[in-house]
């Protein structure tokens, strides 16, 4: 589901950006999409890995994972801007849009997993 959603979103975004923006903006949006996709995959891995663990351990892994993934994203954004010359505003806005979508997907997954876990 995540891959299909990302694929559709990326194709629609690519077409729109290709038609209505510059190549620098398209490059920044592509970088944000890759960073965000890695972020959401790591989030799913942390949820799946901690699923059968006690509730406290589950929360530590998931919440600690959020902090670690945010730090990793910060480092990657700095590398893209400083070393690779990505357009900062377009990268930041694109990353924000993708992050909001990812957050919704992660909340849905967590809710689904907790509901399954609490069933008798």
Total domain count, the chain:
1
**In the predicted model, is pLDDT for residue 100 greater than 70?**
yes
Q: How confident is the model at residue 13 (pLDDT cuts 50, 70, 90)?
A: confident
Q: How confident is the model at residue 68 (pLDDT cuts 50, 70, 90)?
A: very high
What is the pTM for the complete model shown? 0.80
- The pLDDT of residue 120 is 64
What's the mean per-residue pLDDT of the chain?
Answer: 85
Most confident of 41-50, 78-87, 111-120: 78-87
Cβ 32 vs Cβ 98: under 8 Å: yes
Cα–Cα dist 112/110, whole Å: 5
Summarize the confidence of residues 42-60 as an average pLDDT.
Answer: 84
Cα–Cα dist 78/45, whole Å: 25
Q: Which domain holds residue 99?
A: 2-117
Residue 72: CB partners within 8 Å, gap ≥ 6?
39, 42
């Amino acid at each position: 589901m995540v891959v299909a959603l990302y694929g559709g979103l990326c194709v629609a975004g690519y077409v729109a950006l290709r038609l209505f923006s510059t190549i620098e903006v398209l490059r920044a949006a592509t970088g944000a999409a890759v960073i965000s996709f890695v972020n959401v995959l790591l989030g799913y891995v942390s949820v799946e890995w901690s699923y059968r663990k006690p509730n406290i351990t589950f929360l530590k892994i998931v919440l600690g994972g959020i902090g670690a993934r945010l730090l990793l994203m910060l480092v990657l954004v700095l590398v893209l801007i400083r070393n690779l010359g990505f357009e900062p505003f377009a990268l930041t806005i694109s990353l924000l849009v993708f992050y909001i979508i990812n957050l919704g997907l992660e909340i849905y997954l967590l809710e689904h997993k907790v509901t399954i876990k609490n069933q008798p």
